[in-house]
Structure 1
Amino acid sequence: MIKTIIFDFGDVFLNLDKPATARELKKFEISRFSGEMLQQNMAYEKGLISSEAFISGYCKSFPKLTSEAFINSWNSILIDFPAHRLEFLQQLKKERKYKLILLSNTNHIHIDWVKQNIPFFEEFKNCFDAFYLSQEINLRKPDPEIYHFVLQQHDLNPEETLFIDDTRENTEAAAKLGIHTWNIDPVTQDVTQLFTIKSELF
């Protein structure tokens, strides 16, 4: 029986347009992410470099890019947060049947946008027993360390834990540790369907 539910943020609660950033950066003649850029992106998600250094690195590499243009391109992936998902989560909190944890790969620029554009962000955050953002804990999915961290922090039994994420490599990594998973499809599924789609776990 499930006692703890771990949720991803993007494309579980917050709608994303994942190709958007690459599409916007093409306007500045950035057609591909090099291996070095991808490493920088991951380091930024882990909070290992500051927003200022991250933005500056891109602007120095691509002279047509301004800080403002980069931030707008970087945030173009972020769309909206349907209120019915907050209501679903609030109901879960009210029922107190499960420990609720958020575990998200994100970064300071994205979270700043969320705080400015999602008026109920604090209400959302307060629904969770723990709220883990990759840049704050210096860990990111799908590295096994991040799952071990959450399991150990809360003394969780993997067999009593469900992890919901839209990225298959993230759910596969969690499953290897014995955690139940739902690799949610944001196109055809909604987190509010949890108890229908994963009914066998509850």
Structure 2
Amino acid sequence: MSILAYNGGAVVGMKGNGCVAIASDKRFGIQLQTIGLDFDKIFEVGPKIYMGIPGLATDTQTVNQRMKFRTNLYELKENRPVSPKVLSAMISNLLYEHRFGPYFVEPIVVGLDGNNEPYISTFDSIGCVSEPEDFVAAGTCDDQLFGMCEALWKPNMNPDELFEAVSQALVNACDRDAISGWGAKVYVIEKDKVTIRNLRTRMD
């Protein structure tokens, strides 16, 4: 089993029309043994910026803490909030700095920039960034997530359609993966609000 799959988990991000969504499962496990059902993999960086970090649970928490420190330092120094693109560059730098002893994580950044344009990006474990125009997926069931997202994503979805698409993609992908699932959390980010919903999934 890959070290990235040791604790299980999955995160997906998706673009809509003036909105963006990110969702993750809630399971925390050790290989096939489930330990907890409310493990956070999505973290708020700013009012309209979120970061999802699937992978090894200890590295998830470490990368989140280091990024909190770096974003606070950036905002103090620059006297302005961090943007999604700047956050992506900071994560890429952090991961590349540790390329000889990498963090076992595959972060995802979603958010709205200063013009309320949706932005998503994802990284490998040494910081190579990808900025697609439709969706991103990471975690143990990313193959299933890519298949579901290909089937459900369409351009210019409104917030309700986006929520439905990202929820169905995550729930159905997790149903086909033994080490992720046990509930899901979905964030839909719009220019004036963030909607957070908890989903029930199969509990077997």
* Band the TM-score falls in, shorter-chain normalisation: 0.3 to 0.5
**Higher helix proportion, which one?**
1
TM-score norm. by structure 1 comes to 0.33
**Higher strand proportion, which one?**
2
TM-score norm. by structure 2 comes to 0.33
